[in-house]
Amino acid sequence: MLKEFKEFIARGNVLDLAVAVVIGAAFGKIVTSFVQDILMPPIGLLLGKVDFSNLFINLTPVHYASIEEAKKAGAATINYGVFINNIINFLIIAFAIFLVVRMVNKMKKEPETDPTTKECPFCASVIPLKATKCSQCTSDLS
């Protein structure tokens, strides 16, 4: 069983997956920082100095000025501003992955192969390229 486990780990696709997970986690942190530190402050400024990460609905009768105050007091809140930030994070990550996959697919164009068959001009059946007589309608192909 140990030998099988070593073979499983040594396969290239398992190592590739491990590397992808680590890079994906790092990429996620970069995108989160981009959204929270670079993208959202100007958007909040344009929308009237709104800090999306501090938008919440307090479910208790006591008023709290920020999410941090509400969390310290143990109040129940709906943090929809954080949710908006997470949606924007997801959209940016999804778009970046889309671009990478699109680029890889363009690089993987399949090589064109020479045709091995042709169509009979008389009966439209598919026949070998080197055929001189159609096997379906027995017409001479010259």
Cα distance between residue 139 and residue 135, in whole Å: 8
Level-2 CATH architecture, domain 2-109: Orthogonal Bundle (1.10)
Helix (H/G/I), strand (E/B), else coil: 39? helix
Residue range 99-108: mean pLDDT, rounded: 82
Mean pLDDT value of segment 2-19? 74
Non-local CB neighbours of 10 within 8 Å, separated by 6+ positions: none
11 has pLDDT over 80: no
Task: Please state the pTM of the whole predicted model.
Answer: 0.54
For residue 92, count other CB atoms closer than 10 A to its CB: 16
The pLDDT assigned to 12 comes to: 63
**Domain boundaries along the sequence of the chain:** 2-109, 114-142
Kindly report the average pLDDT of the chain as a whole number. 83
The alpha carbon of residue 95 and the mean position of all alpha carbons in its chain are separated, in whole angstroms, by: 7
Residue 1 has pLDDT above 70, yes or no: yes
Task: Please say if the pLDDT value at position 22 is more than 80.
Answer: yes
| Kind plus residue range of the DSSP H or E element containing 119 | strand 117-119
Structure confidence at residue 78 (pLDDT): 92
140 strand-pairing partners: 133
Question: Parallel, antiparallel, or unpaired: how do β-strands 126-128 and 77-78 relate?
Answer: unpaired
* Span 44-97, pLDDT tens digits: 788 777 777 788 898 999 998 888 888 899 899 999 988 988 888 788 878 877
